[in-house]
Copies of this chain bind each other. A is one copy, B any other.
Amino acid sequence: MPASALSTSRNLLLQTISAEDWALVEPYLDRMPLELGQVLAVPNEPIEHLCFPEGAVTSVGETLNDGSRVEIGVVGLEGMTGWPVLLGCKISPHEAMVQVGGGSALRIETGHLLEACRRSESLRTLLLRFVQTFSIQMGRTLASNLRDPVERRLSRWLLMCHDRLDGDEMELTHKFISIMLGVRRATVTDSLHILEGTGAIRGQRGRILVRDRKKLEAFAGEAYGFAEDHYGRLIAPFGKNGTFTPGS
């Protein structure tokens, strides 16, 4: 693969690293297409690669023994999958699956990335800062699940997708959202109607259009913003808001 193909990436982490750190990983990066349903991390299997998405929304989830799945967070072009290896965990405790949209990802073998991190403190700390932001996202997901009604959790989830995708149209079915939120399909339908009633979104078959993002944010309230703000502080401004205002 010609080096030029990799010279830029839409992935925010890779955009943020210094030229020296880029030189350290670039030889081992490898662009791959992302398709819906593709599994980037298999639970309880060794983590062989880390992926830096350049689009799409990837859902990180816990797989339970009965085969059901609980989403614990989402990752898109602002992050990466496979980070547990940075924390010394060779076996993936989670599943990571491409869930919305398509695009591509840059992929690197675990060993190569770990070696690069060993050599460069700045690379290491950048990637660890991402782990921190994901951990904050998890914390907020936890709080939101515990206290917020479904419409609010739904608003938050739509906003997180919106931040990670181009444009205002998202290909999402009610059934699919219901799996992500861990609620009934019919509950999603009802909640979407509530949001639609405020004019924040419009639903078409298999698609949701964000019409008024501010309203969606107002609806999500505290559930949305804290994690995104931390990302802005620790790594780089991000999301459809452009910049998050500090101190929220």
A152: Cβ under 8 A from any B Cβ: no
CB atoms of A87 and B146 under 8 A apart: no
A109: Cβ under 8 A from any B Cβ: no
CB atoms of A88 and B222 under 8 A apart: no
Contacting residues, chain B, for A145 (C-beta < 8 A):
142, 145-146
CA distance A68 to B143 in the complex (A): 10
Cross-chain contact of A128 among B86, B142, B143, B147 (Cβ < 8 A): B86
Closest Cβ neighbor of A125 among chain B residues = B88
Known pairs A88-B128, A88-B132, A147-B182; A139 contacts B93 (CB<8 A): yes
Contacting residues, chain B, for A140 (C-beta < 8 A):
62
A204: Cβ under 8 A from any B Cβ: no
Contact size range, A: 35 or more
Q: Give the distance to chain B from A133, nearest Cβ to Cβ, in Å.
A: 9
Q: Give the distance to chain B from A108, nearest Cβ to Cβ, in Å.
A: 19
Closest Cβ neighbor of A136 among chain B residues = B93
CB atoms of B132 and A70 under 8 A apart: no
CB atoms of A132 and B72 under 8 A apart: no
CA distance A100 to B135 in the complex (A): 25
Q: Give the distance to chain B from A85, nearest Cβ to Cβ, in Å.
A: 10
A232: Cβ under 8 A from any B Cβ: no
**Per-residue interface assignment for chain A, residues 91 to 133, with 1 indicating a CB less than 8 Å from any chain B CB and 0 otherwise:** 0011000000000000000000000001001000110110110
CB atoms of A121 and B118 under 8 A apart: yes
Write 7 A-B pairs (CB below 8 A) sorted by A numbering: A62-B139, A84-B132, A84-B135, A87-B128, A87-B129, A138-B142, A145-B146
With A70-B142, A87-B129, A131-B135 already in contact, 19 other A-B pairs whose C-beta atoms are closer than 8 Å: A62-B139, A64-B222, A68-B147, A70-B147, A72-B138, A72-B142, A84-B132, A84-B135, A88-B126, A88-B129, A88-B132, A88-B234, A89-B234, A93-B135, A128-B128, A135-B138, A138-B139, A138-B142, A145-B146
**A-B complex: 5 closest residue pairs judged by Cβ atoms:** A87-B132, A70-B143, A88-B129, A87-B128, A62-B143
A residues with CB within 8 A of B: 62, 64-65, 68, 70, 72, 84, 86-89, 93-94, 118, 121, 125-126, 128-129, 131-132, 135-136, 138-143, 145-147, 182, 222, 230, 234
